[in-house]
Amino acid sequence: MNSTSKSKHLWNLFWKLANPKVFMGWSGRWLPWLSWLTVLLLGSGLIWGFFFTPDDIRQGSTVKIIYLHVPAALMAINGYLLMFIGSLMWLIRRQHVSVLAAKAAAPVGMTMTLIALATGAIWGQPMWGTYWVWDPRLTSFLIMFLFYAGYIALWAAIDDDDTAADLTSVLALVGSVFALLSRYAVLFWNQGLHQGTTVSLTDGTKQENISNVFFLPLLLAMVGFGLLFLTLLLIGTRTELRMRRLKVLEVRERMQ
Amino acid sequence: MMPDLGEYAVEVTVAYGVSLLALALVCFLYIRRSRSVKRALTDAEARKDA
């Protein structure tokens, strides 16, 4: 299969997954494999990082926090971008699976944001001398956390599912500005304490990556966090789809 | 077995403790809700078919 037909195949699969039945069948087949792979890679990355990497010359053992902080921050941003895509697809094409995937992504994304903020604060105290500063990247992350919380609260506050999907989708679109800002804030405002990108997979000429001693377990942890996000996303979306079906059956029961 | 974390032992341990706790909690909540909704749906389908 050449690359064009591969991408065409993936694109077709993407649209087919908008059908709840296809999604349930596909995710049900892949979920057990994905779960085991998540445990393997996330466990390996964190154990390698915590137990088998040396201290940094300047940062001492606090460098071990990088195996939590960077992957969590990465998934906090990507989780919000996923919510953006799911919400946009709902608003344009009214596809239930996409908006339910966005709904399922929010609590995981919020947890990732919280981990990034907490580990950043704990790391910041010995390195910067403070837990918190109103630095562009830190502040945009805090605002993104509040958008996650608001998105979840809005879903919970509205009884009608389609109305909730409409309103939360608009909120997700507005909040995506802060998800982008949290990624690029360092470039927009060249101020504050937070450094620029630590790891660059694409721009090897401009960015000097960290040493492989730290980079390889970090890469493993990043993939592990990504797989954990995907696993929980599939579990959550399947639960939301079942919940919708359950609501329909309960309404039918009451009408009989 | 435990690596020597030197003067930053508290910071590193707390960072790992808080993060792993948060990850474990979100996994637990997702799996628990998934199981309860699946069970409720199975019961509702059975009542419908009866």
ipTM for the assembly = 0.94
Q: Do B30 and A65 touch (CB under 8 A)?
A: no
Give backbone dihedrals phi and psi of A52, rounded to 5 degrees, phi first. Answer: -120, 20
Structure-block tokens of residue B50:
């009866």
Which residue of chain B comes nearest to A121, CA vs CA?
B15
Question: Residue A29 — very low, low, confident or very high, per pLDDT cuts 50/70/90?
Answer: very high
Q: What is the mean pLDDT of chain A?
A: 90
Helix axes A212-255, A66-93, angle to 10 degrees: 40
- Residues of chain B positioned with their CB less than 8 A from the CB of A236: 30, 34
- Tell how far CA B40 is from the center of its chain: 21
pLDDT digits (tens, 9 = 90+) for A35-53: 999 999 999 999 999 999 9
Helix axes A96-128, A20-51, angle to 10 degrees: 10
Residue owning tokens 């910071």? B11
CA angle B24–A237–A41, rounded 5-degree value: 45
> Distance from A170 to chain B by nearest Cα, in Å?
25
pLDDT digits (tens, 9 = 90+) for A5-15: 878 887 887 78
In this predicted structure, the answer to whether residue A198 has a pLDDT above a threshold of 80 is no
Query: Where do the structural domains in chain A lie, given as residue ranges?
Result: 36-52+59-192+206-255
CATH fold of A36-52+59-192+206-255 reads Four Helix Bundle (Hemerythrin (Met), subunit A) (1.20.120)
B50 vs A: CB within 8 A: no
Q: Do A51 and B11 touch (CB under 8 A)?
A: no
> Distance from A236 to chain B by nearest Cα, in Å?
6
- pTM given for the model: 0.91
The answer to whether A137 touches A194, Cβ cutoff 8 Å, is: yes
pLDDT digits (tens, 9 = 90+) for B13-36: 999 999 999 999 999 999 999 999
pLDDT digits (tens, 9 = 90+) for A209-239: 678 889 999 999 999 999 999 999 999 999 9
Structure-block tokens of residue A99:
């908006």
pLDDT digits (tens, 9 = 90+) for A117-171: 999 999 999 998 899 988 888 888 999 999 999 999 999 999 999 999 999 999 9
The three-state secondary structure class of A67 is helix
pLDDT at A185: 67
- Residues of chain B positioned with their CB less than 8 A from the CB of A68: 15-16, 19
Residue A46 CA to residue A197 CA, distance in Å, equals: 21
